[in-house]
């Protein structure tokens, strides 16, 4: 199996000495699954781990038996894990991010007094901002990560990232939102004497007035009140943004990128990696998920038909064989794509998880994924041989 040459490290090695692991990647590639499996594996090896998942489908929360959603990590019962066949030397904690609550908690923390916090939370601009689907998930995910980091209760935090259209949205969104909160652009806009008002205001005024007539929402008034309420808190946001950035850049942080073995997904991953590195963020490796493994190896494809013909009727044998060839073609394609990826990564870690037969919806599924992520070289070869068998 020459194409397995690049499978050299276990996630445990990559995360040695790390305190934060961020699993990024495009939509649907397996970020939630991988981050939970990583947390499980690190907890099995003795760490106290919290995984923050962003999974509106609540698949993993259900799988891990997390019924309550109080926006705080809760411990996954060791008995539940033991029943599924894994004993932990450490502890596994998990939470599902609730963006609105995280945002509210942040306001509570930075507001000078509870009355001001309550007023801000009632403000219409705030309501929109904290419930907006795009941006607020990314912003609050990072905010929650930072809060948990500061509390220092865990050895390792694993952050799943939201189902962004593009992997990079995740990095952009918090900056966009925090610079909005800092009010750099809008402060000038909402201060009637500000230069911004003079420039933007003239053009925007008729638009805002029209909006007010149609929607009944006085955006300018709301924005002015909002930033008035935020007041000095905006400098707090700037300070926090700087500390958050420091946390993300720390050598104890690892960004793992999850990708599918498809060409476009790999391109996006390589681009994401470049952006991370250019931004000084610690890229740690790539996980290629749902890889089809070569089932044929050096065997003659004709063998398959002969074998099937012995046990199945001709029509069925034909269909099964066709299915098999389709899979084989995908395996060849994945192999080529991953070879290109490995070359681009130039020795940086690349791990592969095979396409499993079933969806990952319970602890047994997570265990299966975790075995590939944490396998030593020889174990991995044996595991893949089992998939192939
Ligand atoms: N190796 C695998 N084999 C089979 N099914 C898998 C594998 N990895 C993930 N899946 C399935 O693929 C689907 C997507 O996985 P997951 O939710 O982890 O992706 P995601 O990147 O978090 O998606 P989103 O961007 O929507 O949050 C799930 O139904 C999951 O069970
Ligand atoms: Mg997800």
* Of residues 95, 223, 221, 86, the one with CA closest to residue 159: 95
CB of 228 within 6 A of ligand 1: the answer is no
CB distance 359 to ligand 1 below 6 Å:
yes
Predicted pLDDT of residue 225: 77
More confident residue, 339 or 132: 339
Cβ 301 under 6 angstroms from ligand 1: no
Atom number, ligand 1, closest to the C-alpha of residue 359: 31
Percent of the chain past pLDDT 70, that is, above it, reads 76
CA 291 / ligand 2 centre spacing (Å): 18
Contact residues for 18 (Cβ-Cβ < 8 A; gap 6+): 156, 252, 253, 254, 284
pLDDT at 15 over 90: yes
Q: What is the pLDDT of residue 10?
A: 92
Which atom of ligand 1 lies nearest, measured to the CA of 27?
A: 25
**pLDDT score recorded for residue 386:** 60
287 lines ligand 1 (CB under 6 A): no
pLDDT tens digit sequence for 236-255: 777 777 888 889 899 999 99
What dotted CATH number matches 19-79+88-292? 3.40.50.300
Q: Is the CB of 28 under 6 A from ligand 1?
A: yes
More confident residue, 90 or 183: 90
pLDDT in tens, 134-182: 667 787 888 889 999 999 999 999 999 887 666 666 667 666 666 666 6
Domain positions in the chain are: 19-79+88-292
Between 275 and 50, the more confident residue is 50
Q: How many C-beta atoms surround the C-beta of residue 188 within 10 A?
A: 17
Is 0.75 surpassed by the pTM of this model?
yes
User: What residue owns the CA closest to ligand 1's atom 11?
Assistant: 359
Query: Which has the higher per-residue pLDDT, 162 or 283?
Result: 283
Per-residue pLDDT tens for 31-40?
A: 999 999 999 9
How many beta carbons lie within 10 A of that of residue 324, not counting itself? 16
Mean pLDDT confidence for 22-28 = 90
Give 195's pLDDT tier (boundaries 50, 70, 90). Answer: very low
pLDDT value for 141 = 85
Please say if the pLDDT value at position 202 is more than 60.
no
Q: Answer with the residue of higher pLDDT: 235 or 87.
A: 87
196 pLDDT exceeds 50?
A: no
Nearest-atom index, ligand 1, CA of 35? 18
Q: Is residue 284 over pLDDT 80?
A: yes
Q: Which atom of ligand 1 is nearest to the CA of 34?
A: 18
């Amino acid at each position: 199996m020459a194409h397995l040459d690049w499978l050299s490290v276990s996630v445990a090695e990559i995360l040695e000495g790390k305190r934060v692991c961020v699993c990024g990647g495009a939509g649907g590639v397996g970020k939630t699954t991988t981050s939970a499996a990583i947390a499980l594996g690190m907890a099995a090896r003795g760490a106290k781990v919290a995984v923050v998942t962003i999974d509106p489908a609540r698949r993993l929360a259900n799988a891990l038996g997390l019924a309550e959603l109080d926006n705080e990590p809760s411990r996954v019962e060791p008995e539940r894990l033991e029943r599924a066949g894994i004993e932990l030397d450490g502890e596994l904690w998990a939470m599902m991010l609730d963006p609105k609550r995280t945002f509210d908690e942040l306001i509570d923390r930075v507001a000078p007094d509870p009355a001001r916090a309550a007023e801000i939370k009632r403000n219409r601009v705030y309501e929109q901002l904290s419930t907006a689907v795009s941006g607020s998930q990314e912003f609050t995910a990072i905010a929650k990560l930072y809060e948990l980091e500061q509390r220092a209760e865990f050895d390792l935090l694993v952050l799943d990232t939201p189902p962004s259209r593009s992997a990079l949205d995740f990095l952009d969104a918090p900056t966009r939102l925090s610079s909005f909160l800092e009010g750099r652009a809008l402060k000038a806009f909402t201060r009637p004497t500000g230069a911004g008002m003079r420039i933007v205001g003239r053009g925007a005024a008729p638009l805002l007035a029209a909006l007010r007539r149609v929607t009944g929402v006085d955006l300018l008034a709301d924005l002015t009140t909002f930033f008035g309420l935020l007041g000095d808190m905006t400098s707090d946001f700037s300070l926090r943004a700087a500390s958050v950035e420091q946390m993300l850049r720390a050598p104890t942080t690892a960004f793992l990128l999850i990708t599918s073995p498809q060409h476009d997904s790999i391109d996006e991953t390589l681009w994401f990696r470049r952006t991370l590195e250019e931004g000084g963020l610690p890229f740690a490796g790539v996980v290629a998920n749902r890889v089809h493994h070569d089932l044929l190896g050096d065997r003659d494809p004709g063998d398959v038909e002969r074998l099937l013909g012995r046990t199945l009727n001709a029509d069925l044998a034909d269909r099964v064989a066709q299915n098999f060839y389709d899979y084989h073609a995908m395996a060849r394609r994945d192999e080529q794509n991953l070879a290109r990826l490995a070359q681009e990564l130039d020795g940086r870690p690349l791990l592969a998880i095979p396409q499993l037969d079933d969806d990952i919806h319970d602890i047994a599924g997570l265990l299966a994924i975790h075995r590939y992520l944490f396998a030593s070289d020889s174990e991995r070869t044996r595991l893949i041989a089992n998939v192939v068998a």
